[in-house]
Each structure stands twice: as structure tokens, then as C-alpha cells.
Structure 1
Amino acid sequence: MPTLLIVHHTPSPATQAMLEAVVSGACTEDLDGIDVQVRPALTASPVDVLNADGCLLGTPANIGYMSGALKHFFDTVYYPCLSATIGRPYGLYVHGNEGVEGAVRAVESIATGLKWRKAFPPVTVLGQPGKDDLESCWELGATVAASLLD
């Protein structure tokens, strides 16, 4: 059974709503047969990544960059997973109250270094997530999960 690992840093109600929408999309009934594992960024390990067939990443934008927790995750898993996870699909969602471009650029740069494959464009939300934003998060979760069945 394919495994999708959702790694997130969720310090606010906005990022919590986005996480819940992503998980809901990844766990939709249409995608029976996918094991969805959800881990906070500070506890996710190289073993979690090595056991997964794809990753979905969530972070707030802090001062124009990914959260320190997600950066710690990447620092922990980068070298142990570098050659073993080439080509795996990933997705990203980012919440901010101002610019999120730096956070997206940083995550995409590291994912490129890992040679992961972007399965869906990043979902970015400024301010309080609305209905359309949460639907985009749901679609992100469903699409990245479905990419594991290809």
C-alpha cells in the first residue's frame, strides 16, 4: 500500500484549517488504498521519509521563509534520504500574512536538490483561508495522494 507522508508546522488556526483540508483530500474515499501518515515537522524523521512514497509539506511563511520547524525537518532528512527518494512526488502549502514567495522558493530549492517531483503547484494563502483556499488545499491533498497510484 502506498504511503503519503504529510509533514507540517501548524502554529495557527489558519495553518490548522489548511492541514485539515489537505488531510481530507488525501483521505478521500476515491483514493482507497493509500496510507496517510501525518507528522509534525519537529518529529518527522528520515525513517518516515524513507518509508513514504511521497511527501506533502505544510508551513507558515515566517519573515519571508519557511518555518524553522520545516527547515529542521529538511536538515534532518536531507542526506539520509538524498539518493533513496529521487523522483518521489511532493506537494506544498504555505500560509502567510504577507509575502510567501521566499518560503515557496526555499522549499522548492531543497526539493529540487532532493530530486523530488512536484505533483501539484504550491497552494499559497495570504490572510485567513477562505472557501476557495481550503478547496485548493483539498485538491492538493487528493492530487498528491493520487500521484502515488500512477
Structure 2
Amino acid sequence: MAGATNSEIEGVDVVRRPALAATVPDALEADGYILGTPANIGYMSGALKVFFDLIYYPCLDSTRARPYGLYVHGNEGTEGAIRAVESITTGLSWAKAAEPVNVLGTPSKADLEACWELGATVAASLME
């Protein structure tokens, strides 16, 4: 959130929704997405999967080429979670604004900075 709401990024309104609260209208109204998930047994969280299940077909044609960013946190299996999200976002034809932030174990200062950069990159991509 801090990176996406950086004061140097103008004209971008950031709306935060938990995955289980996000709706099809939320996804359709958004110009870009920052997705976050824990890695659960080598996969994205059930909540993020439910979000994708709900919005996939209603948003398939209307959200093509929208930028997104992804951060994943876990002790192991983060690669599977990243692969699953990238598979779905590829199907949606969303544009990856930055490489995923993959956080293993306790987040370090560098991990937190990478997440800040991720948010700033996605938000800045909307200014163009």
C-alpha cells in the first residue's frame, strides 16, 4: 500500500479489498491490480482462488492488458503459488508490471522494500 500511495504518483486512487470481499464490479472498475497471497501447500490461498473463480469469466474480455503485481509469502512452496497466479493472469491477459516478490520466511528489510517497489511500479504504470 505504501508504494502504491506514494505522493509522487498522481491521479491514482488506491482501493484495498480483501480477496473474499472483492467483487466483479471491483475488478471491472480497477485499472490495475496488486495481488498478495500466502503460499499454502505450494498453492495460492483459497481466498485468492475464490476471487479468481468469481471474476474470471465476467472480467475475461473487459480487463485485458491491465497491469498487475504479485507478492507471495511462505516458508516453502511459493514457486507453486506464483506459477498458479501467473497461469490465471495469463488466461485473463493481464500485463505483469513487475516480477513477483517472493518472500521466504520472516520478511527482511529488502523484502519490504521490494513490496514497496511493486506497489509503486503498478501504480506508476497507471499514470501513463
The correspondence for 2:63, drawn from 85, 89, 102, is 85
Structure-2 separation of matches of 1:133 and 1:111: 23
Q: What is the TM-score with the length of structure 1 in the denominator? A: 0.84
Structure-1 separation of matches of 2:77 and 2:42: 6
The correspondence for 1:99, drawn from 77, 86, 90, is 77
Structure-1 separation of matches of 2:78 and 2:35: 14
Residue 29 of structure 1 is matched in structure 2 by 7
Structure with more of its chain in strand, by fraction: 1
Decide whether the 8 Å contact of 2:40 with 2:77 is kept in 1: no
Unmatched 5+ stretches in structure 2: none
- Displacement over 2 Å in runs of 4+: none
- What per-residue deviation string (whole Å, max 9, x for no partner) do you get for residues 79-131 of structure 1? 00000001100000000011200000000000000000000000010001010
Root-mean-square deviation (CA), in Å?
A: 0.5
Residue 43 of structure 1 is matched in structure 2 by 21
Alignment-mate amino acid for residue 131 of structure 1: K
Shift of 1:75: 0.2
Residue 11 of structure 1 is matched in structure 2 by none
Alignment-mate amino acid for residue 97 of structure 2: A
The share of aligned pairs that are identical, in percent, is 69
Is the aligned partner of 1:133 residue 2:111?
yes
3-state SS of 2:34 partner:
strand
Structure-2 separation of matches of 1:29 and 1:145: 11
Decide whether the 8 Å contact of 2:60 with 2:92 is kept in 1: yes
Instruction: Say how many residue pairs are matched.
Output: 128
Unmatched 5+ stretches in structure 1: 1-22
Is the aligned partner of 1:148 residue 2:101?
no
Shift of 1:33: 1.6
3-state SS of 2:62 partner:
coil
Alignment-mate amino acid for residue 34 of structure 1: V
Structure with more of its chain in helix, by fraction: 1
Residue 30 of structure 2 is matched in structure 1 by 52
Shift of 1:32: 2.1
